[in-house]
Amino acid sequence: MVVINRLKNLQIRNATGPTRLQDGGGLSLRVRKGGSKAWVFTYRWNDKRPEVGLGAWPTVSLAMAREKAEQARTWLAATPKRDPRIEWERIAKADRVDSRSILFGEFAEAYIRDRAQGWKHPDHERQWRGSLKRHAKVIWGTPINEVNSSDILNCLKPVWYEIPTTAKRVLGRLELIFDAAKAEGCVDGNNPATWRGNLQSSLPIIKRQEKHHAAIELDDIQDFWSWLQSTQATSALCMRFLLLTATRSGEARGARWEEIDMDGAIWTIPSERTKNGEMHRIPLSKAAIEVLELSRDLSGSTVFPSPITFGAMTDKSLQKLCRKSGFQNRDGKPITPHGCRAAFRTWAENHTDEDTAERALGHRRSKLVRSYARGDKLEKRRELMQHWSKYVCGGQ
């Protein structure tokens, strides 16, 4: 009589190799010298003794391995006999077919949901989902394994000429999704969203036209500051702070009191809130401190809260404020919040060295430079920002 189910979990856990532990009935655990452990099922077929791997322990537990071994013994005892290796291959093939029948939209949703956990900003998930639902809607309900390059072209052509930046962004997202689908066995053959050697022959290369944010003229800075002082809106306070610190809109709007050291006059933006993923310390001028004092009475942990949500205000609030001010750039376009950084950078060219100006803006330097120059020139930047605030406030 064949004795089965000999092994205990503790025995398996403590086993060291090289050795093979027998559970009986053809099931054994192979233990290698390095410590890895894998289940093996051995059986007799046509005067041979083939072995089939059942998976690594502990991913495949003792109970799961026994269940697989019992299924194999059932196949071998059937009339006619069935080869366990062939049966498992047939099941695996059926599983692959099932996985390939998943709709593109279902796979895309799962991909976005899984990857969003590692994305820097929650807005990225909304942007991915929105752009794909809008521009890939023609394939949203199509089985992902049936989507071909022609389908991808149908998604891209309506926006390739009108909104090339959006089209290229959507193409990049589609390529990543189909790469993941191939890796998971849901797609056979080549990636239909690949550009080189595939879509490249059907879509012309559109040269990117750089668009700069409309920047306020330096001669208008002091008049703009006076206008901001006359405006009671919280957005105007935030804009004054942004102008004095030369930061990005999102950094200023998302400023929290816990980031501000009023005594040390330093604002520390954590890495998760900066564009380059590095912590950025900003020395605060006296004028910037005064703006913060004015916002102390506002409720919440956000320095410049939205009057509606009491969380961070939207970028549209500052955009609307800039348009309302009536100030324009040299081309007659309404100024933008980000354009204030350009104005600071233009002014800084005549008042400091390039490295200090770039550090003040929080720009990422090359890896080689960062490996040697590890300071942030805080005190030199403090002097620079104080000088800038005097210019902005009309005290030069």
Q: Which CATH fold would you assign to the domain 9-98?
A: Double Stranded RNA Binding Domain (3.30.160)
The angle formed by the CA atoms of residues 143, 145 and 150, to the nearest 5 degrees, is: 90
Provide the pLDDT for residue 272. Answer: 84
Residues 6+ apart with CB under 8 A from 31: 15, 16, 17, 18, 19, 20, 21, 37
Mind listing the pLDDT tens digit for each residue in 275-331?
A: 877 888 999 999 999 999 988 877 678 999 888 888 888 889 999 999 998 998 888
pTM of the model: 0.54
Provide the pLDDT for residue 2. Answer: 67
Domain ranges across the chain: 9-98, 104-201, 218-392
Domain 218-392 has CATH 1.10.443.10: yes
Mind listing the pLDDT tens digit for each residue in 17-42?
A: 789 999 888 899 999 888 889 999 99
Mind listing the pLDDT tens digit for each residue in 229-285?
A: 998 889 999 999 999 999 998 999 999 999 999 999 999 999 888 887 788 899 999
Residues 6+ apart with CB under 8 A from 344: 246, 360, 361, 388
Alpha-carbon gap, residue 244 to 385, rounded angstroms: 7
Mind listing the pLDDT tens digit for each residue in 99-145?
A: 556 889 989 998 998 888 777 667 788 889 889 999 999 999 998 88
Residue 372 pLDDT greater than 50, yes or no: no
Length of the chain: 396
3-state secondary structure of 220: helix
Alpha-carbon gap, residue 171 to 139, rounded angstroms: 13
CATH C-level class of 104-201 = mainly alpha
264 to 219, 268, 353: CA distances (angstroms): 32, 11, 25
86 to 25, 39, 69, 75, 92: CA distances (angstroms): 19, 18, 14, 10, 10
Type of residue found at 199: L
Residues 6+ apart with CB under 8 A from 387: 351
